């Protein structure tokens, strides 16, 4: 599981510029998900071979200056609670401000690595001015310039050294199913309904984050770890705050699992926050099952379920090959079906296909429908294989990989799904030079 690094600081010190610089460093492994409020603020990046997630707390604060202070304090607290390391960004142009001192005061109490980044240091005069940030009492600082990247290498070297090693317990061989979703969708009730009276089968292993608990589930021949993210602590009723928290908590759980059970409230629909969680899981290449809870509360006609499902699939495009289970935790309707489906998705995700079988099936399809010619050049695909990754990824070897466009990749992905059943699992298709 990758570590989480939070970038905190008051508005307009250049957090987002630095964040964008980080996550665009290597487009290939990088991902950024549009968040719950304005602004992109969750991304994955790597440095010196260590992958980590970055959270930019910049996109959350709305309101006037006086509202800012309370909001920033809250964000810093949340970031402190969830992140493994913190980058505290300040601005050499404005010098130390009272708001910086507030944030520093919060950060001095933390026993997590804190890196003070003094931004906008792009000439020697400013380098001298940066000295005043020693006054914040956070020790050494890193002079950087987000816009051109100077100084960021030293900061990232130090950061990566301080990140905790990936200490997944050895016995975590059991599949991990994360129950995620927005607050009040019924996640806790779902887990309680599953473990039910047979409390004795349950072992509580404290999770990697506070109150994200792993519960061993072993019934009806299924054995796996349930990761419950239901403990989203309501620090306050501020909407951005809660959403920020749910996203942060979901990020953790999603990165740490094999299959995501996304619990949504039938009465609210597949709304923005549920979609964010869905795309987060999809971009992290996890197995996905959508559980529409509180189905008993909806007035139903003959085609209600069909139409509801069609609406969800429309919102998910282009990745629509995902199982949707309509259930009610209250009446225990289809909760076992939910688990059965999750186990199927897990099996699909860990499916390995023999290279000979893959070529036997895919090459004739490619021959009948070759990639369209590009600038008069023809792409010839000679061979394909599944890559040795935890989730399904396929490499197709051809003479001109750069000429294969997305629609054809989607065509091949759909054929793979049709022939081998990857329901609920994101499939990646790559083209390589043979």
DSSP 185-240: SSHHHHHHHHHTT-GGG--EE--SSTT-EEEEEEETTEEEEEEE--------S-HH
Is-contact 404 373, C-beta < 8 A?
A: no
Task: Could you list the residues known to form a binding site, using ranges.
Answer: 9-16, 56-60, 119-122, 181-188, 228-232, 293-296
Tell me how far apart the alpha carbons of residues 61 and 58 are, in angstroms, rounded to a whole number.
Answer: 7
User: What's residue 211's pLDDT?
Assistant: 42
Angstrom CA distances, 391 to 164, 349, 412, stand at 25, 5, 17
Q: Hey, how many other C-beta atoms are within 10 angstroms of the C-beta on 201?
A: 13
Q: What is the pLDDT of residues 71-118, one digit of tens each?
A: 666 667 777 777 889 999 999 988 898 888 888 888 888 888 999 999
User: What's residue 220's pLDDT?
Assistant: 66
Rg (CA), the chain: 24
Tell me how far apart the alpha carbons of residues 201 and 191 are, in angstroms, rounded to a whole number.
Answer: 13
User: What's residue 222's pLDDT?
Assistant: 78
User: What's residue 328's pLDDT?
Assistant: 87
- Mark out the alpha helices in 2-97 (DSSP H runs): 15-23, 65-82
Tell me how far apart the alpha carbons of residues 114 and 84 are, in angstroms, rounded to a whole number.
Answer: 9
Question: The tokens of 397 are what?
Answer: 């070897």
Question: The tokens of 319 are what?
Answer: 């990745």
Task: Could you list the residues known to form a binding site for GTP, using ranges.
Answer: 9-16, 56-60, 119-122, 181-188, 228-232, 293-296
Angstrom CA distances, 121 to 93, 97, 118, 157, stand at 8, 17, 7, 19
Residue 298's contacts (CB-CB under 8 Å, 6 or more residues apart) are: 266, 267, 304, 308
| Residues 336, 339, 343, 349, CA torsion sign | positive
Supply φ then ψ for residue 306, to 5 degrees: -60, -45
Residue count (the chain): 434
- Beta strands 324-326 and 381-386 are unpaired
User: What's residue 233's pLDDT?
Assistant: 40
Q: Hey, how many other C-beta atoms are within 10 angstroms of the C-beta on 28?
A: 4
* CA proximity to 403, closest of 374, 369, 425: 374
Tell me how far apart the alpha carbons of residues 229 and 213 are, in angstroms, rounded to a whole number.
Answer: 7
Q: Which residues of the chain have pLDDT under 50?
A: 25-40, 59-64, 169-171, 197-212, 231-240
Q: Which residue has the tokens 């549009």?
A: 34
Q: Hey, how many other C-beta atoms are within 10 angstroms of the C-beta on 335?
A: 21
Q: What angle do CA 313, 43, 141 make, to 5 degrees?
A: 165
pTM over 0.85: no
Q: Hey, how many other C-beta atoms are within 10 angstroms of the C-beta on 304?
A: 14
User: What's residue 324's pLDDT?
Assistant: 93
Residue 138's contacts (CB-CB under 8 Å, 6 or more residues apart) are: 88, 104, 107, 108, 114, 116
Q: What is the DSSP string of 355-416?
A: HHHHHHHHHHHHHHSPPPPBTTB---EEEEEE-SSSS-EEEEEES-GGG--HHHHHHHHHHH
Residue 133's contacts (CB-CB under 8 Å, 6 or more residues apart) are: 90, 92, 96, 116, 118, 141
Peptide bond into 318 cis (omega under 30): yes
Q: Is 14 helix (H, G, I), strand (E, B) or coil?
A: coil
């Amino acid at each position: 599981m990758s570590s989480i690094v939070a970038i905190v600081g008051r508005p307009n010190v250049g957090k987002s510029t630095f964040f964008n610089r980080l996550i665009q460093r290597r487009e290939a492994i990088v991902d950024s998900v549009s968040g719950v409020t304005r602004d992109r603020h969750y991304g994955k990046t790597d440095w010196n071979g260590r992958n980590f997630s970055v959270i930019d707390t910049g996109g959350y604060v709305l309101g006037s200056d006086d509202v800012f202070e309370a909001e920033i304090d809250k964000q810093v607290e949340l970031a402190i609670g969830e992140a493994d390391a913190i980058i505290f960004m300040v601005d050499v142009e404005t010098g130390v401000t009272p708001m910086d001192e507030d944030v520093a005061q919060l950060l001095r109490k933390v026993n997590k690595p804190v890196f003070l980044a003094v931004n906008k240091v792009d000439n020697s005069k400013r380098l001298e001015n940066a000295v005043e940030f020693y006054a914040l009492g956070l020790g050494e600082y890193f002079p950087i310039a987000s816009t051109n990247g100077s100084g960021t290498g030293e900061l990232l070297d130090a950061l990566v050294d301080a990140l905790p090693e990936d200490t997944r317990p050895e016995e975590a061989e059991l599949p991990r199913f994360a129950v995620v979703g927005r607050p009040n969708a019924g996640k806790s009730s779902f887990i309680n309904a599953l473990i039910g009276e047979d409390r004795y089968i349950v072992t509580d292993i404290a999770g990697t984050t506070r109150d994200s608990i792993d519960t061993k589930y072993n019934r009806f021949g299924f054995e796996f770890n349930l990761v419950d993210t239901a403990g989203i602590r309501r620090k306050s009723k501020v909407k951005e705050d809660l959403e920020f928290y749910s996203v942060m908590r979901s990020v953790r759980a999603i990165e740490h699992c094999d299959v995501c059970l996304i619990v949504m409230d039938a009465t609210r629909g597949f709304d923005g926050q549920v979609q964010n969680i869905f795309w987060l899981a999809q971009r992290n290449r996890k197995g996905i099952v959508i559980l529409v809870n509180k189905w008993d509360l909806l007035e139903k006609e003959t085609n209600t379920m069909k139409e509801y499902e069609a609406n969800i699939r429309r919102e998910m495009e282009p990745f629509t090959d995902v199982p949707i289970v309509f259930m009610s935790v209250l009446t225990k309707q289809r909760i076992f079906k939910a688990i059965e489906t999750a186990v199927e998705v897990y099996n699909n995700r860990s499916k390995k296909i023999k290279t000979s079988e893959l070529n036997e099936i895919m090459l004739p399809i490619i021959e009948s429908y070759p990639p369209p010619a590009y600038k008069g050049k023809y792409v010839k695909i000679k061979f394909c294989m599944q890559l040795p990754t935890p989730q399904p990824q396929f490499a197709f070897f051809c003479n001109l990989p750069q000429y294969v466009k997305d629609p054809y990749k989607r065509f091949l992905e759909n054929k793979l799904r049709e022939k081998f059943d990857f329901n609920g699992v994101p499939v990646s298709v790559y083209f390589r030079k043979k």
